[in-house]
Amino acid sequence: MKIDYSQKLYSEAVKYIPGGVNSPVRAFKSVGGTPLFIKRGLGSRILDVDGNEFIDFVGSWGPHLFGHLPKFVKQAISEALENGTSFGAPTIQEIRIAQLITQLVPSVEMVRFVNSGTEATMSAIRLARAYTKREKLIKFAGCYHGHFDAFLVSAGSGALTFGVPNSPGVTSGIAKDTLIANYNDLDSVLALVDKFSNDIACIIIEPVAGNMGVVPPKKGFLEGLREICNQHGILLIFDEVMTGFRLAPGGAQQLYGVQADLTTFGKIIGGGLPVGAFGGKRKIMEMLAPVGPVYQAGTLSGNPIAISAGLATLKFIKENPYVYTAIEEKSKMIEDGIRNNLNNLGKKFILNRVGSMMTLFFTEDEVTDLNSAMKSDTQLYSKYFHLMLSKGIYLPCSQFEAMFVSYSHTEEEIRHFVKSNFETLSEILK
């Protein structure tokens, strides 16, 4: 595989962009080597600047449920572009997509659009604090909610300690208001609530974790969180930036039958363009300015081109719910293929899948939280990643990220993936 031009571009990029990339995971630090510069994407395929073509199982980290540049998104962008790029004023599209979200996600009665998942989660936290008149939040080790200061906090030295900053620039004052629980562990949540219940504004969680690799909630875990929040006047925030409209038309809330007080969205609602949103109960959302006192604003929020792409995507989802059955079948084909390969090779590596999200963990211990995910052999994953890349399969460049299956992946491509998976595992396990 030739990567001469990518290497040249990367050498140039590091002179002007920190690390040569605009989001750290793109730098291939977890797997080594030079990040590939992508020239074009169409359907299930991407092409890099050196002319290498790959079957893409990253999908821009989740937005491309229908593959790259589906016709209905391209048409929506083209039509919107004819009218202008930005107005800083309301448009019809904003109303239509807000209506559609409230129809698809019953817990959302009102919605506010922003430009990224990080903006959505940070705004939801501010709103939750204002609504409850409390300052602390509970998040879960291994769940990622963007680069807002309050989220860049790790667990302290004891079970009941405050969080500590895990990035320079995050102050200890901010960190003290973030409490860390363990994913899939209700006892760790109860311990924090027992000690700080009168101070906790919200619990924020990825209902299906996707940023320590894919980790599904244990039976009763999300239900338990809902009950705890109900008992203690705490708002439950589902970060569905990744799972929203991917796992079902109503996201993880539909899949698991648990409703949140506030929900954050991103990725799919932009149809591949930068869009974020947060929404929830009317009585909570009406605390936002200009109706209420909680200030949140953005010059490009509700950008007409991005919103048009997202509206086209959600319309297609509503009108064609069969796509989820088709994507589930494709995803299960991959899961079954990987499990058969592992069985034939006598390996018990862990494969976690929820719908079209999955991760193959290079560990034989069940992965249910961050600590168990961290037992994975990251060096082995690095070898796996590069060998799969050489076979034309583009996977997440980190053991701890989700792989995504799209509607555009064909059975032939899936068979190629499964065959490549077997050959690669056979080679790295010699």
Question: Taking residues 24-51, what's their average pLDDT?
Answer: 96
Q: What is the DSSP string of 375-425?
A: TS-HHHHHHHHHHHHHTTEE--SSTTS-EE--TT--HHHHHHHHHHHHHHH
CA 327 to CA 62: how far, in whole Å?
14
CA 126 to CA 338: how far, in whole Å?
43
CA 17 to CA 28: how far, in whole Å?
15
Q: Which of 267, 324, 369, 384 is catalytic?
A: 267
Categorize the per-residue pLDDT at 160 as very low, low, confident or very high, splitting at 50, 70 and 90: very low
Per-residue confidence (pLDDT) for residue 161, from 0 to 100? 42
Is 133 among the catalytic positions? Answer: no
For 373-409, what is each residue's pLDDT tens digit? 999 999 999 999 999 999 999 999 999 999 999 999 9
Q: Which of 10, 144, 324, 384 is catalytic?
A: 144
**173 pLDDT more than 50:** yes
Is 394 among the catalytic positions? Answer: no
Q: With beta carbons less than 8 A apart as the criterion, state whether 372 and 366 touch.
A: yes
**pTM of the predicted model over 0.85:** yes
For 227-239, what is each residue's pLDDT tens digit? 999 999 999 999 9
Question: Taking residues 91-111, what's their average pLDDT?
Answer: 98
Per-residue confidence (pLDDT) for residue 163, from 0 to 100? 59
Q: What is the DSSP string of 128-152?
A: HHHHHT--EEEEETT----S-GGGS
Domains along the sequence of the chain with CATH:
4-69+324-428 (3.90.1150.10), 71-319 (3.40.640.10)
Tell me the one-letter amino acid at 284: I
Looking at the chain, the whole-number percentage of residues with pLDDT higher than 90 is: 92
Residue 278, strand partner residues: 112, 264
Give ∠ CA 290-144-36 in degrees, rounded to 5.
Answer: 110
Question: Taking residues 262-273, what's their average pLDDT?
Answer: 96
**318 pLDDT more than 50:** yes
Q: How many CB atoms lie within 10 A of CB 24?
A: 12
CA 163 to CA 356: how far, in whole Å?
33
Q: Which of 239, 330, 369, 381 is catalytic?
A: 239
Helix boundaries (H) for 274-354: 282-285, 304-319, 322-345
Pairing mode, strands 45-48 and 38-42: antiparallel
Helix boundaries (H) for 166-293: 172-175, 186-196, 221-232, 251-256, 282-285
Question: Taking residues 304-308, what's their average pLDDT?
Answer: 97
Categorize the per-residue pLDDT at 191 as very low, low, confident or very high, splitting at 50, 70 and 90: very high
Categorize the per-residue pLDDT at 172 as very low, low, confident or very high, splitting at 50, 70 and 90: confident
CA 160 to CA 19: how far, in whole Å?
36
- Those residues whose C-beta lies under 8 Å from the C-beta of residue 319, and which sit 6 or more positions away, are none
User: Can you point out the beta strands (E) in 243-308?
Assistant: 262-265, 276-280
Is 267 among the catalytic positions? Answer: yes
Question: Taking residues 125-135, what's their average pLDDT?
Answer: 98
